[in-house]
A and B are shown apart, each in its own frame.
Chain A
């Protein structure tokens, strides 16, 4: 995990290393300061001449200035390194997601990817900052202070031999018990917040069923249990304070009582008052740094979860990659499925598609009809290689789709997804997704074909009308027509409409199809629809049922041969008068 993320440091290695160097310098000086101060105190005590005192004072100020210089520089380089590092991590994660195939995308939820790119990277940045700053500084200061304490305090330093093991043991015990408790409670806490979100979203259902008291009770119980867990965890952590305090105070008492004996017994020869006060300072410093270390330990393990989640994305292998020596031209819009079986995940017991054998000639119009969950969408998604077949092969223009360069294939096979989105930006910008170099005339042409031109011109700003995030300011039917126009701009050899005119009225729907026949006769058109009317005139109609092609043929044939097709047709033309009343 560390190695995966380590690669993200890249150009920020230099500031990171500089930070460590300056931190070390700062720590060295910081350690000597009490030493000099002790001298200063001694000279004052001894009534040394004022000039000597001022000299030592100036030396101290000089040291403070250097320490400030080092500290501030380290602060800046640290900010540079840590924010740069997190920038790189975000970049890498986002870039990685862009290489994901549909199968990879299905694995992660949108919300979880957003969290990874925001909260998790943030946690990582904090941890990194801690690591190069405090995690270097604290042990250093600890060691320096230790050495100084032994040099200056002599026998008095024995106190640390007693205190440090006690403190280390205490802090580690607390961390050992607190951390798993916190991890558990944070997970619970996330779930609680998810359930609140669910509650807010489903408020109409809750009120519709008058379930407010039920929801309150449910939430109260969940919140109460979290409260108890939190309290328990926090109370363990709260033991840190007293443990630390005991050590500090023990240290003080020990130094004072033993120190006084030492100083007085040999008349301040081996050790003097100034040294005692220096010992007190170093003692404090040692204990503070131990506290810091335990804090870092806790923080780092807390961010381990974020690190794991980020690595999960970074280590994910894209299920579909560009082949070597890829074919970069699609000859025509013919499609051939040979013995295709497909399942979404290797673990799935059931195939989503099986026994698909199908030949579509270039320029044909193919209609696909079938019930909810009959795998209509699954079938067409294999054509632009959004998923790879499990068994068998899919050929486009006579070549296996797995041999094409992905961009080539997908630019030739234009697909209008069922769950489609427009992006925030103008209509023009959205259309340009299809072709970044499209001229205004080309855009108009595509929009005329998808019957969108008229309503676009009806907007005050025409093609410069802003689309809100999620396309909320256009109606469902308008959105679908814009999505079709966007797909048309690719000038594809194969055009796939996955239930893309469901919100468009039948008349406009017919106009769109008529336009296709007239203006793009050479393009293979595959239309998935709920309405029989949308596919009735197709050259070939597939009736899908439960992952299989249950029947195929022309409209008239199917009326005779396919019971499902006939049933759907009758329902939609004669209406439910006869059978549903």
Chain B
């Protein structure tokens, strides 16, 4: 799956970053109100325990130094072993704490990510179509891949490490102060220098990493285009040229990537050796203090001695190492928060609103025309219309009458794509829309099934304002087959059954027969159980359309919208499909959008659209007789684009 190459910038304002970070922590806490504090406690506890032993180790070495003068092992044992005993106790606690928090982290991280993923996905299902029309699919995908990955990094690594390293820094600092303020100051000076250098080198690295990302993006775009057009490249013997163009991009990428990595690789040795030098300095200064007998200045008031210098040296390493950890985590947290903000952006997107309350129910209509609601599948439908005013419910039989009244519509304020469009579709009529690309044909169907909403009362379905009909019920009553066929991973049978989840295998086969798809499906290697992958990539476009028609047929909807549904099917097969569809649609209303005039010719009413206006309407014969635009189209004098 192609990952969307995106250059991740830092969030706009640090304040916002902090807000998002708080939101993540709050959510995490909300999911795990007990485990989160337990984990934090364990992290800090293990950090504390891992710094305390330094004191005991120092005490033991001091004891060893002292008793090695006398060589009195028995006496030494009495002093040293209790200390080692305490040490062992601390270690056991520390191991317990580490085990607990790491297990909890593993558990919580994936639980949290699962929550986030599902929340994102569920939220996404409820977004209006306009969201998907205005956002690139690659960008949406990167929320689920790149951004979730950074979030995982944040929760499982950055935050715990920050807490851990941060508390170790504090603990070690206080122990160092406990021993000697002078030496501590020397260490702090060294750390300051270290941060300075690492900031410089790290900054260079960051600059080139951004450039590298840009080069990666460019190259990925190129590769995507070339892989798509690989067959054209072959046909035109363009292999050499495309290789050269690729190499040019490849070299730039290599150059940027080299710089970025070179800086990043230098950082490690630099930090380590500053640490080494600091070590020497501490040793020398310590030695100087010792030889000169300088007075120690510390929280504990211990006199200066070898037993201070030695543990101090160890602590220096620990201190610098953890300061580094903290500064690195801060960077990666900023990056991760940018990803989290995008995820929140998707989650906070306003869902599709639905104030509809009229629902579609299976109905039984008796001889007198009385309608009763039933759960059985009766092939008769009714609109259930509850009236809040008096608490009564009325049933209107579903007939499939659709009217549009002087509809104006604009996707973008001020740019009307439909002007004053009125359509009257009687039940059982076949209504066709013809017109150039961008004339507004698909927009009309977008409005009928409420992918986009317009002002109240302009569109009525069986006399009911469609804004009052619950969206899911409205759409259930409309079968749509689109030009761009989308099939899902699963068997052919599963794909057909998508139209009606409780359809039996036989019903699915019947629908396929109606759609004229049964023939080719039976010839597939596994027949109806053939697995489709990658949007049915192993089928031809025409075959995919046939499956899509079968899918709509099994839903058995009262009204059907066919938006260029047969454009990729050859005319002979189309005629077969048409026969099946006509049988299926008997007494149902059908809206047809087609490029091929032979598809729309037998419609009851044909509307010719031009720039969002209906310029001609009438039956094929009537429009031919008028000798207008339709006539010109039909005789081939005009091109539809």
Contact = CB atoms under 8 A, between A and B. Distances in A.
B437 A475 contact: yes
A528 B232 CA distance: 18
Given A110-B227, A117-B223, A245-B95, A40 B280 contact: yes
A70 B99 CA distance: 38
A183 to B, nearest CB: 17
B386 interface: no
B73 A261 contact: yes
A295 interface: no
Contact of A87 (B76, B254, B540): B254
Contacts, number: 458
B250 to A, nearest CB: 5
Interface string B478-514: 1110100011110000000011010000000000000
Contact of A110 (B103, B228, B283, B309): B228
B269 A193 contact: no
Interface string A41-78: 10111010110011001001101110110111011101
A187 to B, nearest CB: 12
A267 B265 CA distance: 46
A41 B598 CA distance: 97
Contacts of A173: none
Nearest to B478: A208
Contact of B261 (A79, A97, A202, A235): A79
Nearest to B548: A205
B72 interface: yes
A67 B571 contact: no
A276 B314 CA distance: 13
Contacts of B234: 100-102, 105, 386, 410
B64 A273 contact: yes
Interface string B223-238: 1110111111111111
A114 B129 contact: no
Interface string A205-226: 1111111101110011001101
B254 A86 contact: yes
A323 interface: no
Interface residues of B, number: 167
B378 interface: no
B63 A252 contact: no
Interface stretch (B24-32, B401-409, B456-464, B632-640): B632-640
Given A50-B291, A264-B68, A194 B573 contact: no
A94 B534 CA distance: 23
B228 A421 contact: yes
B106 A571 contact: no
Interface string A231-272: 100110111011001100100110011011101111110001
Nearest to A576: B602
Contacts of A201: 137, 486, 535
B137 A41 contact: no
Given A212-B126, A372-B570, A111 B488 contact: no
A577 B1 CA distance: 47
B235 A386 contact: yes
B297 interface: no
Interface residues of A, number: 166
B486 A202 contact: yes
B523 to A, nearest CB: 8
B41 interface: no
B67 interface: yes
A576 B573 contact: no
A507 B598 contact: no
A216 B123 CA distance: 9
A231 B87 CA distance: 33
B467 interface: no
Contacts of A576: 575, 578, 598, 601-602
9 contacts: A45-B306, A54-B284, A68-B273, A75-B264, A102-B234, A110-B228, A241-B102, A260-B60, A423-B229
Given A260-B80, A267-B68, A277-B310, 7 more contacts: A67-B273, A205-B548, A241-B102, A257-B80, A267-B71, A373-B542, A579-B575
